[in-house]
Each structure stands twice: as C-alpha cells, then as structure tokens.
Structure 1
C-alpha cells in the first residue's frame, strides 16, 4: 500500500493534482493533501507517506524547508517538486535534498502521470530491496542475478559520469536501489567501497591526461572531477606514491629512453 501526500496551497491546483494522481493509484492506496508547510510536516510524521508532491511557495514554511524537515524522519520517501519557479538556486537545493523530479508549472496531466508511475516503481524497488536486505542476513550469495544486473547498470553510469559530482545516493537512485543496500552490494561485488572506486577511476583518468596533455595540475584536477586541486594532489600522491608533476616527468623520461633505445637499435 502506498501513501501519497500532495502539498499545494491553491485549491484549484490541489484538486487538479488530486484528480490526476488518484487515477494512477490502486484502490488500497491512501491519498492525502496539505495546504501549508507546517501541515505537510505534521501529516508526514503522522501518516509516513512514501510519495510526496510538494509545491515550493506555500504558507508557514516554504516547500524546500518542509522537505528538509521531512527528510529527517523519512529519508527514503520519494519527493517531487511542482513549482512555477525555475531559479537555479531552488533546483540546486532540491538536488541536495534528493528530490526525485523538479516539474515546472503548468504541468500537463500526462507529465504528472508519467512521474507518478516512475515514483511508484522507485518506492516499490526500494521497499523490496529493504526486505531483501533483511532477508539476506545469514543467507549469503542470494539474489546474485539481481545484484549483477543493477551493479552492471551502475558501473555503466559511473563510467560515463565519474568526472561529474557523483554521490552514492545519485547512482543508487539511477538504478532504483536503496542507497544503504546499494553500498553494501557494491562493495561485495566490486571488492572496494563506492567512493574508492570513483577515486580510482579519476586517478586513472588523471594519469592519462598527464601522459597525453600539457594541462596544469589544477586543470587536470577539475577535468577529473576534483573540485579542490590541493585535495587532488593529496589523493594522487597517496595512490601513486608521487606528485602529478613527478608522474608526468617520469612518463616523459621513460618515453625518451624508449625512443633513444629504438633509434640505437635501428642504427
């Protein structure tokens, strides 16, 4: 059974959303509405919704503040924003709060239905993963096929996006898996924690750039997904036992020796 909460202070908009969302739910599902941020937090505490549609500009406390409060006791709820505001700072804050979708008003019924369908699928998978995780205690090697499937999808996504700001929660959401469960399975399947795997890919890419470009270290750090060049230097030294500059020098020296050796042999 799903519990869906719609938070919208405009009555007509609230009724419209209620009508569209109800059509996508099962008879046993519960659909609730709230018209202010304070009421949204209160109802979320009382009814524990697993799906929430949140407007931003609502009375008492705004939608983002309400989500921030709700996240404290419902970290796994699937929350989407519907708002007339496209300001980047709102979207940025929404991302940090792990919002599922950010929909700009006016939203067509077909778009709401599509997002609801994806949210229902996501919460279903999360709840199943939590159940599987509990069932796995004392039962190693279960669900190997399912593990391989979503880890494979995660690796593809990471490979295409490791140079961007990439969190475990982001990847887990992309493969429709609970973050805690994803972290456990990822380490088991890959042999290293998620964060170490990302760093490993970034350092490998940094080595390639040091070998093939004349980029300064600060640019390479940005190209590889490190926002802080000094942190990049520390991580590189820890992994490669030398600074990026020394790595470049050693590679160039090795290449020159190979070239000289080849010339001597040919001569």
Structure 2
C-alpha cells in the first residue's frame, strides 16, 4: 500500500509516520516537503493514499491535488492543515478529498480516517465487473487480491479482541473463507489464523504488565474461551508462561 506524506514540516512527517506505525498495515511511505516535489512523486509512484498539507512551498496542496486528480485517479486524498477556515474545507470537498484534518493531527482521528480510506479502497476492488476497468493507476491495473489482503489485516486489527476467525472476517469482506485464507497465505507467507494469534499475543504481552490484571482476564478480553489454550500459545511464542512473564 503506497502512501505519500506531503508536508513542509519534518516534525509533522515524523509524527504521522509514528501514528501510521500503530496501524497493522505495511505502508510503503514516501515523504516530500514541497508542493512541487509532491507533483513529481505522485506522477512517479501513483500512491494509494496521500496526506497533503494545504500550504507548502512551490504550489499549495489544493492546487497540487487539483492538477493530479485526473492523472492519479485512484489516489485517495486526505488534507492536513493548520488553518480551520471554512473556505479551505469547502475547496477540499469540491476536489473530492476523503477528509480534512487540522494540525496538530490527532492520532485517533488520523487512524480512523486511514481505516475509512482503506475501507473505501477495498470496497472499490469488490465492484461490479464492468467497473473494474476504472480502477487503475496510470492505466496500470491494481493487484486486487493484494488490496483484499490489506483490508483483511485492517479488519483483523480492529476485531482481534473479539472471538473472530477467518470465517467472520471473510463474511465482513463478503468473500469465501477458503479464498481469503488462500490469498492471505499467498501474499503474507502466513495464515490469517496465525496473524490473528500474533496480534492477540502481542497485545497480551503488553496487558500482562498492567498492575492487578490476571491471566484469566487478559485471556478473556482477547477472545479466548480457554485460559489453558491461551497460556500454551503464549509459551510457544515467548518461551515462558503468562504467569511467569508477569513475575519476570
């Protein structure tokens, strides 16, 4: 998933990278600091998502989006700005941007916006056959299966604390469990079940250090009905039992 950050403030770009690192998606991130550089990079990489500051050296973010939208038709634009004037937001909406976020960017708001954007991208890949010809970058077809896998990772990251598995995620994506399992294994090298387990165990690794929490509570809040099964998985991954880890 190619993502462009266009902002003339380096600290803002670093902050956005840190927030994106908390999302369970492998973003291929490109950074630029001017509107001119943004135009050049979009024409080179055709990003899936672009986070764009309104005011940058060279040309403004809005002008750049206006120029690039007909060229990079599948790029989803998200505006970043330190300015809250209505006119900026209205101009952004006319350009078809996904959202308009004020700086300093709120981490949860950005994560929600990225999640919604990925939902939009994934829903487009499940369009009717006659629509598929529209979904391309610079006349290059999208890898539909890969985006499906990315969307499955988003759903897993959102729901791993529930008692969900391949069947429930496939149902949300409106595809068969067998197809989802096959594509996920092909593009990631691991099963979706293993991916879910790793998300849960990493969260357990963090929660078990919270004061006063029990192994049973952690097991239950992560969707496990059996504390013994949870403990076995935890030991296999980290080399010691959950209770021993708490004491370490």
Q: Tell me, in whole angstroms, the C-alpha distance in 2 between the residues paired with 1:74 and 1:130.
A: 21
Q: CA separation in 2, counterparts of 1:131 and 1:31? A: 30
Instruction: Establish whether residue 73 from structure 1 lines up as the match of residue 71 from structure 2.
Output: yes
Q: Distance in 1 between matches of 2:28 and 2:126?
A: 19
1:120 to 109, 118, 138: 118
- 1:132 Cα deviation (Å)? 6.4
Structure 2 SS opposite 1:13: helix
Once residues 30 and 123 of structure 2 are traced to their aligned partners in structure 1, the CA distance between those partners, rounded to angstroms, is 22
Q: CA deviation at 1:22?
A: 3.2
Against the structure 1 CA distance between its residues 65 and 130, is the aligned structure 2 distance closer, same or farther, given a 3 Å change threshold?
A: farther
Distance 1:59 1:74, change over 3 A: same
Structure 2 residue runs of 5 or longer lacking an equivalent are: 134-248
How far off is 1:89 after superposition? 1.5
CA contact (8 A) 1:37 1:61 kept: yes
- 2:88 is aligned to 90
Counterpart-to-counterpart distance in 1, 2:104 and 2:132 = 42
2:10 corresponds to 1:11: yes
What are the Cα deviations for residues 90-141 of structure 1, in whole angstroms up to 9, with x where unaligned? 1111111001101111221111111111111111112332766349xxxxxx
Following superposition, the deviation at residue 80 of structure 1 comes to 0.8
Query: Is the partner of 2:56 in helix, strand or coil?
Result: coil
Cα distance in 2 between the residues matched to 1:58 and 1:130:
39
Q: 1:130 to 1:77 in 2, by over 3 A?
A: farther
Aligned length: 133
**Does the aligned pair in 1 maintain the 2:125–2:132 contact within 8 Å?**
no
Q: Which has the higher helix share?
A: 1
1:21 paired with 2:20, answer: yes
Counterparts of residues 30-109 of structure 1 (less than 5 Å):
30-109=28-107
Residues 80, 103 of structure 2: 8 Å contact kept: yes
CA distance in 2, matches of 1:63, 1:15: 19
- Higher relative contact order by CA 8 Å / sep ≥ 6: 1 or 2? 2
For the 8 Å contact 1:36–1:61, the answer to whether it is kept is: yes
TM-score when normalising by structure 2 = 0.50
Distance in 2 between the 1:31 and 1:131 partners? 30
Q: Which deviations, in whole Å up to 9, do the C-alpha atoms of 1:7-48 show, x marking residues without a partner? A: 111011111011212332523x31111111111111111111
Alignment of 1:1-267 (within 5 A): 2-27=1-26, 29-129=27-127, 133-134=131-132
Structure with bigger gyration radius? 1
